[in-house]
Amino acid sequence: MINQSGYKSENSVVLYGISKVEYSLNGCTPYPMCLKSCANYLGQDVSLDFTMVSTGTAFRLTWDTTSWNGGNIDAMHTFDDPEEVYRLGVEALGRDFDMLARAANTCGVEFISCKKSDNKDDFIRFIKAQIDKGFPCIALGIIGPPEACIITGYRENGAVLLGWNFFQDNQEFASQVKTDESGYYITNKWWENECTLAVISMGEATRPLISTKTILENAVRVMTGRYDKKSGSIYAKGIAAYDEWKKAILNDSEFPPNAVMPILAERIMCHGDAMSCLGDGRHNAAVFLNKLAEEFPEHKDLCKCAAGHFSKVVSNIGKMADLLGRFDRNEQQMQNLAKPDVRRKTAALIDECKAADSKALDALKQLAESM
């Protein structure tokens, strides 16, 4: 069944009226932003802070201990199983989850439990089955890196896809993308993009929303420091990520004198991503917990305590940005990050973020136990 705001013709179905997702001051975490847009279109009045906390992404922090990895910020690192964040996000809305992943990919991502295929026709069938029922799809990739985006429709029997993507206006991909009068991207190169890793359904709403207790328990799981070299993992996550981030920032050999711009650009990108992850995530965590304080007055003190510590993290991120010359990632910020005194002051702020996050985690543990 096509939603009343959808358009259908031979070999073409497009769902109109789905809100745009894009990087802005309102958010920079693609997957929960896509969830909110799709859920709102399907009649669920959920807020961004809800999709941020219910996916666990509001509480994440990841640092690759082996390199300056531009993928640290990806939501798929929220839990140890990369599929879990996507499953949790859909099921948190009370909806049935289904996911089809590319069996072989060059991004080094292995989805274990979902269906897999390297056949383009299987992906087209998956997408059409959802769109034909009036349900938008969430995908990883389509245009640019394997970040979440929205598929709002198809043309030419699925060869051409439309929707919203965080990179659709990026000049790097302009030759592969056209724009519909609605603003939706139009692309017939989505399968050729090796970073198109998966498509995710937004099935029927058959259950209540995720419980507050489960959100808190998942938050504790995400934040609990974990990094064990013996396990073979290269990622430090949660509280453990702070020490590895700080170690990288203080490593003078990573910021040699007269370093070429590509090296400095890589450094500011990874450092900036960690800042964005915390700024966006902990802000939404604080918003959610302040709402929770009003909803559960008997837990008000603990909620306000956790929210206050998360807000302290956000404040410290602002101070980091001041050291760099604000949040831009241009040549000025690159050169400033290379300065030893800026990095020492930044390291001290990383320690302050870790301390505040640790106190917030203690409050969340108490909240989860008392709910």
6-200: CATH topology is Cathepsin B; Chain A (3.90.70)
pTM: 0.94
pLDDT digits (tens, 9 = 90+) for 44-94: 999 999 999 999 999 999 999 999 999 999 999 999 899 999 999 999 999
pLDDT at 347: 98
Rounded to whole angstroms, the Cα distance separating 142 from 193 reads 6
Q: List, for residues 87-104, the tens digit of each pLDDT value.
A: 999 999 999 999 999 987
If you average pLDDT over residues 225-234, what whole number do you get? 75
Mean pLDDT rounded to a whole number for the chain: 94
In tens, the pLDDT along 133-179 reads 999 999 999 999 999 999 999 999 999 999 999 999 999 988 889 99
Domain range summary for the chain, segments of one domain joined by + = 6-200, 212-370
pLDDT value for 107: 73
Asked if 48 and 34 touch (Cβ cutoff 8 Å), the reply is no
> For residue 230, what pLDDT is reported?
62
Residues above pLDDT 70, as percent of the chain: 96
Q: Which two tokens stand for residue 211?
A: 């419980």
Do 40 and 15 meet the contact criterion of CB atoms below 8 Å apart? no
109, 151, 265, 270, 273 from 329: Cα distances, Å? 27, 30, 8, 10, 10
What are 274-298's pLDDT values in tens digits?
999 999 999 999 999 999 999 999 9
Segment among 38-42, 115-119, 137-141, 223-227 with least mean pLDDT: 223-227
- Please give the helix or strand (H or E) that residue 152 lies within, else none: strand 148-155
